[in-house]
């Protein structure tokens, strides 16, 4: 079962579904990535902050899937924002991963005014300048950001030569970022959705369950398909072999526009992290 690929501004192609590794450590992470690759995933998402790059890299090597067929993402953590620190962070990530390059490098969170009054835009730009150099050097085949809102993105776009190719944000029914999604689309920036299952909470949402029954699919499959149909890339995660496979089995149905609208309006009751107010 081949996954569709989406062309990035870099000219590289990213698989339409990614396997996420947040909170996965040690043997669980290794086994999860290995199972995902066996099941057909070709897009693996990790980060320096996750503390699992070594396990991700080992699973990639042990999978016997050719490196050029696997799209690997990692991220630079908040303590490494800054020109020199960002470059060093990627070198350390590559060493842990055992790779010569990553397919996508992201700024994990934007610097904000709460933590850096009067300096946040400059910090984000300095980090982005390092990313541009790493991109030109081929150490990152594509570059982008994570958890960036409109004003963060505009700062980079208006003050640098290269537009971010990806913005990875929390995105799922009930948390839609419609203005941001329109902006990303208009600038050909691909949106990746972290926590497409609403941190797991939406799996037991009655509206989602009702739609799963209607389409004869699992709640997770409904939520993953929702993200794909609104034009974003879902990053999904499971340690269960069956669910890892099930989460890819979403090509034999379409959610109607009426049902998409119902999903968009779900009240999740979840509290969210606004990147302008984080203090980590």
Task: Round to whole Å and give the CA distance between 171 and 223.
Answer: 10
Instruction: Please tell me the pTM assigned to this model.
Output: 0.96
What pLDDT, on the 0 to 100 scale, is given for residue 2? 66
Instruction: Give pLDDT < 70 ranges for the chain.
Output: 1-2
Q: Tell which phi-psi region holds residue 65, choosing left (phi > 0), alpha (psi between -120 and 50) or beta.
A: beta
Which pLDDT tens digit goes with each residue over 126-147? 999 999 999 999 999 999 999 9
Catalytic choice (50, 101, 175, 272): 50
What pLDDT, on the 0 to 100 scale, is given for residue 44? 98
What residues does each domain of the chain span? Answer: 5-203+231-252
Asked if 70 contacts 37 with a C-beta cutoff of 8 angstroms, the reply is yes
> Which residue has tokens 């993953």?
224
Which pLDDT tens digit goes with each residue over 1-50? 568 999 999 999 999 999 999 999 999 999 999 999 999 999 999 999 99
- Residue 50 falls in the annotated catalytic set: yes
What's the CATH number for 5-203+231-252?
3.20.20.100
Task: Round to whole Å and give the CA distance between 36 and 45.
Answer: 12
What pLDDT, on the 0 to 100 scale, is given for residue 269? 78
Task: Round to whole Å and give the CA distance between 81 and 121.
Answer: 11
């Amino acid at each position: 079962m081949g996954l569709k690929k989406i062309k990035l501004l870099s000219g590289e192609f990213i698989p339409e579904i990614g396997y996420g590794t947040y909170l996965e450590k040690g043997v669980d992470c290794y086994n999860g990535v290995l199972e995902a690759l066996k099941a057909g995933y070709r897009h693996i998402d990790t980060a320096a902050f996750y503390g699992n790059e070594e396990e991700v890299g080992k699973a990639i090597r042990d999978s016997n899937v050719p490196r050029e067929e696997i799209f690997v993402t990692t991220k630079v953590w908040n303590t490494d924002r800054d020109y020199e620190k960002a470059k060093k962070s990627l070198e350390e990530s590559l060493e842990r991963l055992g790779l010569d390059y990553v397919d996508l490098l992201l700024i994990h969170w934007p610097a904000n005014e709460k933590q850096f009054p009067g300096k946040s835009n400059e910090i984000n730009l300095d980090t982005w300048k390092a990313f541009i150099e790493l991109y030109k050097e081929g150490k990152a085949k594509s570059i982008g950001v994570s958890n960036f809102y409109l004003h963060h993105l505009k700062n980079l776009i208006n003050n640098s030569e290269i537009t971010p190719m990806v913005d990875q944000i929390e995105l799922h029914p009930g948390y839609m970022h419609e203005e941001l999604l329109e902006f990303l689309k208009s600038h050909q920036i691909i949106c990746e959705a972290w926590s497409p299952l609403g941190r797991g909470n939406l799996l037991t949402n009655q509206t989602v369950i009702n739609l799963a029954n209607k389409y004869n699919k699992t709640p997770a499959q409904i939520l993953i398909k929702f993200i794909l149909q609104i034009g974003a890339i879902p990053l999904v995660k499971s340690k269960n072999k069956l669910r890892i496979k099930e989460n890819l089995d979403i090509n034999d149905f379409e959610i109607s526009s009426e049902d998409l609208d119902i999903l968009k309006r779900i009240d999740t009751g979840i509290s969210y992290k606004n990147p302008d107010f984080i203090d980590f």
